[in-house]
Amino acid sequence: MAQLYNNLGSVSSETGDFKKAIEYYHRALENFEIIKDKAGKAQALQNIGLIYAAKKDYNKAQLYYQQSLTLNRETDNKYQIVNILSAIGNCFTEMKSYDKAIRYLKESYELAINTGLSNEIFRNCKSLSEAYRGAKDYVKSFDYIEKYIQLKDSVYNAEKFKQLSELQTKYETEKKKKEIEIKTLKLKESEEVNKRQKAVIYSIIGGLILISFFSILLYRLYLKIRKKNLLLVKQKMEIEIQAKELEKLSIVASETDNSVIIANAEGIIEYVNAGFTKLFEYTFDEFASMRGKNIVKTSFYPDFLDLFLDCIEKKNSVVYTTLSETKSGKKIWVQTTLTPYFDNNGNLQKLIAIDSDVTKIKEAEEEIRFQKKEITDSIHYAKRIQSAILPRNENLKDFIGDYFILFRPRDIVSGDFYWTTSVHISDGVTCDRVSDEMSGNRVSNVVFGSRVTSSHPVTIIAVADCTGHGVPGAFMSMLGISFLNEIFNNEKIVNPAQILNELRKSVIESLKQKGASEEMKIVSSETLTNSSAVVSSYGSGKDTPSSFITAVKTPYAANENDGSSSFATAVKDGMDIALCILDPDKHILQFAGANNPLWIIRHDLQGSVNKDNRQSIANGADQNDPQGHVNKGKSQSIAYSADQYDPTGRENELIEIKGDKMPIAIYDKMPPFVTIEIPVHKGDTFYIFSDGYADQFGGPKGKKLMYKRMKQLLIENRNSSMPDQRLALEKNLTEWMSHLDPHSGKPYEQVDDICVIGLRI
């Protein structure tokens, strides 16, 4: 089966279907691996290398050649070693790495001499001549080309001697055969003399034999004549078809605006069409008087001689572009296709050069390059604007403290963004909105409904992942930042869920998003404010309630159970976001998320998980309902059992608080977002992020990095400083992407914008 796939690959390669050929060779390679056939594996690898070399992808060709060379050295297959060394050397010559090319070619040459491989010797001589010529060592190049010519002549003479020997042997065999026939006839004649009595019978028999013999000869002669006649008819038809094709080609050559030049095997121009004069404004006689009639000397291309030799050697067309000048002095770009024509014996007969005016194409390419630069400059300016509206690091440190930000756009501008601010709230009762008015008197930054006491700061921080990346994502991110600033500055909201509800409402209204049902409506901020309630109060240490994680939910405007708010299609534009409010004085962290989670790593003084604070309540239980029943129509609690935070396993040291499974955009069901309150302690670390880091492709198998690896990395570096954690994330990402993509042969490219924020209490 392995050899069958190898043969199928060879057939596909000969027909020019390189993609199919590579597929078959890889299947052959897998089967050779199964049966432990090193020679077969080496052959399959060499065949794949040959295809990539034919496609001029010399880096990939080198990889497969080197693997094949290793296997052939293990099996001591000197013939294949010679061939692969020569192939590697030729690849380096094409890549202009002439020193490496000479090293491999000389090794192949010396091994060929030691093993008596004459054909490989003179081929290596030619390759070495070309490599030394590329290295500008013309003396050695000349020496090897002389050896090549001498060896080629000797091989040619040896082949001729072999053919003459075969003809001589055939002649001697035929001669012996004729002598035997003559002796046989004489023997028959003597027998006829001795048996005169049977002469009449033998005469009749002989006559019948002769008649039969001549009948057969005549019939065979008839078949030969008939076959020749059919062949003549076929040839006549082919000649007629060729004559018609030549007539068409003649019309094309005379009428086309392209220049057609035909030269003989020595490069002497024999014919130019009318298009030559149309293109260059010269008659051929005028042009020949200035530059001569040799096609090598008439070309404006500086390296034409190398192209000319390469074209003849590989028996393939070559295409090159030259800046030329017409008779009137006009500069034009000319693209030339030079094609060699060989007879059935492989001898060069003609050279055909077709010149086309590609000046407009060149001008268009220049215009495209200019426009690309203009667009790129505009995007870079957009990056400056986007960078200006993102929080500055020096400002963040004033109210965040020990933190890191890993912000890495995929393109110049980013669809991910981070946003943070700080506000002073009253030390009284916690509420969802900061009011500018109280009892008719204007008071700044006071909790609505509370008594006026001292205040303390809280920090709001968010990471968002907008639809798309690049310029579209950047527009969306700027909208998101503007809406968040407007919500905070105008509405004075300091409840994560209400901020996300207002943000969703702003996105839907600004993008004019609509669903299939009238009942799919966003809950107003007033409804959210009046219906929200915090089940657990702020506290820390001994005052921390047993339900240390509490979810706050506002009633949904439509009936959640009737399914009336679902729809088939919706606008996809929007964002996923994780938003936290940290109250360091109260040791409380509030979180709300749209598809994005919050990760927390708890630490005691020794840096391990803080077991004293792992308190829990039954899922869905209310503090005032010890039986664990959820009161319909009231706020619902979501809590987690202690088993979820069992510190005995390394992965369980990282606590994941999931956000709501809906985006900041129109969606089939849009209940209010949920606020989750978590008591925090000094040394606890929390992380919010977009999905770009975990979704990055790379690694040895070309897979996504995934959240599991990201969690493990954070757990392993939990005791490191925040800047060191950022370096660890960056290093891991760089190493993950440094693996080669098997499709492109290059390291993996970044697939999405990346934003990760870590903060230590």
Q: Note the pLDDT tens digit of each residue in 644-679.
A: 333 333 444 799 999 999 999 999 999 999 999 999
Q: Report the distance separating Cα 74 and Cα 177, nearest Å.
A: 52
DSSP single-letter state for residue 529:
H
pLDDT at residue number 163: 59
3-7, 156-160, 313-317, 732-736: which is most confident: 732-736
pLDDT at residue number 19: 83
Whether 370 shows a pLDDT value over 70: the answer reads yes
77: which residues sit within 8 A by CB, 6+ positions away? 39, 42
Q: In this structure, which amino acid lies at residue 665?
A: A
Q: Report the distance separating Cα 354 and Cα 359, nearest Å.
A: 15
Residues in the chain: 761
Question: Distance of CA 408 to CAs 225, 278, 688, 692, Å?
Answer: 82, 56, 15, 9
Whether 634 shows a pLDDT value over 70: the answer reads no
pLDDT at residue number 221: 87
Pairing state of beta strands 331-342 and 697-698? unpaired
Nearest residue to 473 via CA among 211, 248, 690: 690
Q: Report the distance separating Cα 552 and Cα 550, nearest Å.
A: 7
19-28, 117-126, 735-744: which is most confident: 735-744
Nearest residue to 694 via CA among 684, 681, 704: 704
Nearest residue to 688 via CA among 484, 475, 289, 419: 419
When pLDDT is averaged across residues 397-416 and rounded to a whole number, the result is 85
Whether 409 shows a pLDDT value over 80: the answer reads yes
Question: Distance of CA 176 to CAs 184, 389, 462, 499, 541, Å?
Answer: 12, 103, 103, 110, 118
- Residue 581, phi then psi, degrees to nearest 5: -125, 120
pLDDT at residue number 166: 62
pLDDT at residue number 38: 83
Q: Where are the alpha helices (DSSP H) in 35-137?
A: 38-54, 58-75, 78-94, 98-115, 118-134
Task: For residue 98, name the pLDDT band (cuts at 50, 70, 90).
Answer: confident
* Tens digit of each residue's pLDDT (9 = 90 or more) over 186-202: 777 777 767 777 777 77
DSSP single-letter state for residue 219:
H
Cβ neighbour number for residue 681 with a 10 Å cutoff: 16
Task: For residue 395, name the pLDDT band (cuts at 50, 70, 90).
Answer: low
Whether 474 shows a pLDDT value over 80: the answer reads yes
State whether the Cα torsion 18-23-24-30 is positive or negative.
positive
Which residue is associated with the tokens 């439509």?
Answer: 558
The percentage of the chain sitting over the pLDDT mark of 70, rounded to a whole number, equals 76
State the DSSP H helix or E strand holding residue 451, giving kind and residue range, or none if neither.
none
Whether 589 shows a pLDDT value over 50: the answer reads yes
Whether 436 shows a pLDDT value over 50: the answer reads no
DSSP string, 653-690: GEEEE--BSS-BS--S--PPP-EEEEE--TT-EEEEE-
Q: Report the distance separating Cα 521 and Cα 508, nearest Å.
A: 10
Q: Report the distance separating Cα 459 and Cα 585, nearest Å.
A: 11
When pLDDT is averaged across residues 556-580 and rounded to a whole number, the result is 58
pLDDT at residue number 615: 31
Q: In this structure, which amino acid lies at residue 550?
A: T
Q: Report the distance separating Cα 425 and Cα 586, nearest Å.
A: 11
Whether 680 shows a pLDDT value over 80: the answer reads yes
Task: For residue 375, name the pLDDT band (cuts at 50, 70, 90).
Answer: confident
Nearest residue to 616 via CA among 669, 667, 545: 545
Buried b (16+ CB within 10 A) or exposed e, 257-289: ebbbbbbeeeeebeebbebbbebbebebeebee
Average pLDDT score over the chain: 76
pLDDT at residue number 454: 61
Residue 692 C-beta-side C-alpha neighbours within 13 Å: 34
Task: For residue 636, name the pLDDT band (cuts at 50, 70, 90).
Answer: very low
Task: For residue 251, name the pLDDT band (cuts at 50, 70, 90).
Answer: low
Burial class (CB in 10 A: 0-12, 13-18, 19+), 2: buried
The percentage of the chain sitting over the pLDDT mark of 90, rounded to a whole number, equals 22
User: Which tokens sit at 328?
Assistant: 């009137």
pLDDT at residue number 482: 92
Question: Distance of CA 195 to CAs 190, 191, 205, 303, 376, Å?
Answer: 9, 6, 14, 88, 111
When pLDDT is averaged across residues 709-731 and rounded to a whole number, the result is 95
Whether 685 shows a pLDDT value over 50: the answer reads yes
Instruction: Tell me if 460 sits within 8 A of 488, measured CB to CB.
Output: yes
Whether 714 shows a pLDDT value over 50: the answer reads yes
pLDDT at residue number 247: 61
Whether 441 shows a pLDDT value over 70: the answer reads no
Q: Report the distance separating Cα 693 and Cα 705, nearest Å.
A: 7
pLDDT at residue number 410: 92
Burial class (CB in 10 A: 0-12, 13-18, 19+), 197: exposed
Q: Report the distance separating Cα 405 and Cα 727, nearest Å.
A: 10
47-51, 72-76, 297-301, 591-595: which is most confident: 591-595
> How big is the CA angle at 646 (ends 643 and 650), to the nearest 5 degrees?
140
Least confident of 236-240, 312-316, 548-552: 548-552
Q: Report the distance separating Cα 726 and Cα 405, nearest Å.
A: 7
Whether 73 shows a pLDDT value over 70: the answer reads yes
When pLDDT is averaged across residues 88-103 and rounded to a whole number, the result is 87
DSSP single-letter state for residue 159:
H
Q: Report the distance separating Cα 197 and Cα 267, nearest Å.
A: 80
Q: Which residue has the higher pLDDT, 567 or 160?
A: 160
pLDDT at residue number 506: 93
* Tens digit of each residue's pLDDT (9 = 90 or more) over 162-188: 555 565 566 567 667 777 877 777 777
Q: Report the distance separating Cα 368 and Cα 361, nearest Å.
A: 10
pLDDT at residue number 756: 97
3-state secondary structure of 384: helix
Q: 588 forms bridges with which residues in the sheet? A: 583, 679
DSSP single-letter state for residue 197:
G
User: What's the distance, Cα to Cα, between the start and end of the chain in Å?
Assistant: 64
71-75, 300-304, 387-391: which is most confident: 71-75
User: Which tokens sit at 301?
Assistant: 């291309």
Dihedral over alpha carbons 364, 368, 369, 371 (to 10 degrees)? 130
Instruction: Tell me if 705 sits within 8 A of 736, measured CB to CB.
Output: yes
When pLDDT is averaged across residues 410-419 and rounded to a whole number, the result is 90
Burial class (CB in 10 A: 0-12, 13-18, 19+), 316: exposed
